Every structure is written in structure tokens, then in C-alpha cells.
Amino acid sequence: MAVTLDDKLVVAISSRALFNFEEENRVFEKDNDRAYVDLQRQRLDVPAAPGVAFSLVRKLLAFNTSEHQRVEVVLLSRNDPVSGMRVFRSCHAHGLPSIQRGVFTQGRDPFRYLRPLGAHLFLSANEADVREALHLGYPAARVVTESVQAGDSNPHEVRIAFDGDAVLFSDEAERVYQAEGLAAFQQHETDKAAQPLPDGPFKPLLAALHRLQSAGEAGGTGMRIRTALVTARSAPAHERAIRTLMDWNIAVDEAMFLGGLPKGEFLREFEPDFFFDDQTGHVTSAARHVPAGHVNSGISNPVRVVGN
């Protein structure tokens, strides 16, 4: 029988998202790729420190048992194969031996491999790769490598927080807000309260997490998933968001309708292993308190045209 990942939640992740390779990356940016490879070769036996997405990955892998492998984490990196060897060794040193698959492209675009992987999530520190992955229809976020790392206070819960518009939902309502202002936005959402919002780029990930939670409960791993919707919406625009989730038959554990308040301090109390948002201001606020990623999607992230 052919090996397949079809029945698993698949997370593709770059080396810098999983481990702290910031010193090595500075060498790459300052000097050249040869100096970077030489440094990685010198440090083959030195495990890299955990990076921003390490806690998320470690907890998701805890859903696996000897009988059921429900989560697959695959390294998908612009690194060269030698640097990839150090990444695998770092995985083993930090208790992640189940990470056994990896694609290392030595500077070439890695996002094209998301298709054969059937990835439900792509995490990378490379903004261009994330943008292309989103364009191809895969949930993807640029990991803010300066983010505060997740704590250890919830060892048996994977906690993930999502923004709403342009992340879980489309940017339909955000376009109204930016074009016509808050009053028009509120009226638009009130008028369409019973009409579900179109899917956003991260709806497939939320659905996959919902399936994983159900499987985890049946499998007796002791792990669970706790999700939160953290949005700048407030009443009366809250209703359409809630009704959309109801239409999807997916529940979130917490919903925060903050009406424009800074999200960072609320996220600090929720203690997520990761937070996804499309607006750089919210991501910057969040990164001071929790692991955060920027979703380069929607009207707040116009396509950049580079001239000659």
C-alpha cells in the first residue's frame, strides 16, 4: 500500500520558523551563502535553540500515538542539504524524532512542494514564500522571529488564536470599512448578519484542527486544541462572524470582539502557541507577548509591484 499523508494534518515549516537560526541568518545576509553553509557545517553537532513555532509543533506532534499518526510535520526550507542535516539533528536533540521528512532547496522556491504534501499550514520566515503559498491557496504565515516564545503553562493544550477578516473569513467586510468607514462597515455587517462570510485563507486550517480535536478525543492522548477568534470587530458586527462559524459547523472556544483595542495584552492572557493576523500593526502588538505570524492576505496587504 502506497504511503500517503491524506489522513493527517500536515504542517510544512521552514528551519528559521522551527529553530532560532537568526545568528546564522545574519551571516547569510552580511556575507554570502558559502559563509552560511560553512558556519552550519561547523555547528553540525550543536543543536539549534527552539524558535518561535517550536511550541506549536511540539504540541501538535503530541497528538500522535504508536497506533495513530494524526499529525505530520515536514521541513520545507531554502536551506542546503548540509544545513538540513543540522536541522534534523536539532529535531532529535529536542525530542522531535518524529520529524523525518524534509525538502531542502538550496535557495530555490520551496512553496511549490506544498501541493504534493497537501499542506494545511505553511510557516516560514520568508515573506515572499508566504505570499506565494497564499496565492496558491494554502494557509501560510510569515513567522515574526522576534516574537516572544510560548510558555509552558498549558502543556496539554494546543492554543491557537486567529484574526477574523482576511484570515478566517474573506476581506469582504474589511474592504467596506477601508473604503467607507466604520459606520458603513457596521451597517453592511448588520444588513448581512444572516449571510455567512466567504471563506478566508485559514478556514481550511481551522477545519483541520477541528477534525484533529475530534480524533484526539477518541484517541485518548490527553491533548486538546483550544482556539480563539480575536478580532477588531465589535457589536453589532459580531453576529455575522459567529453565524459564519455556525454555518461551518465549527466552534471556537473563545471569541474576543475588541472594537479596535490593541490585541497584544488580550493574547497574553489567552497564552496561544501561535496567533495569526493579516495586519502588521496587530502582529507587532501581539509579538511582544506571544508567538505571532503575519498573513499576507486581503486589502491590507496590496500586491507590491517592483519597477525596473
Q: Which grid cell is 188? A: 453592511
Decide: residue 230, CB within 10 A, 0-12 exposed, 13-18 middle, 19+ buried.
Answer: buried
Q: Which grid cell is 84? A: 538540513
Active site (annotated) includes residue 253: no
Query: What does the alpha-carbon distance between residue 63 and residue 56 come to, in Å, rounded to a whole number?
Result: 12
User: In the beta sheet, which residues pair with residue 84?
Assistant: none
Residues 6+ apart with CB under 8 A from 181: none
Other C-beta atoms lying within 10 Å of the C-beta of residue 306? 4
Q: Which has the closest alpha carbon to 233: 269, 282, 270?
A: 282
Q: What does the buried/exposed string (b/e) look like for 20-55 if buried means 16 or more CB atoms within 10 Å of the residue's CB?
A: bbeebeebbeeeeeeebbebbeebeeeebebbbbbb
| Catalytic-labelled residue, pool 33, 38, 163, 277 | 163
Q: Which grid cell is 63? A: 497528538
Rounded CA Rg of the chain: 19
Which amino acid, one-letter code, is at 1? M
Q: Which long-range contacts (CB under 8 A, 24 or more apart) does 116-119 make?
A: 117/5, 117/10, 117/12, 117/74, 117/76, 118/5, 118/6, 118/10, 119/10, 119/11, 119/12, 119/74, 119/76
Which positions are annotated as active-site residues?
163
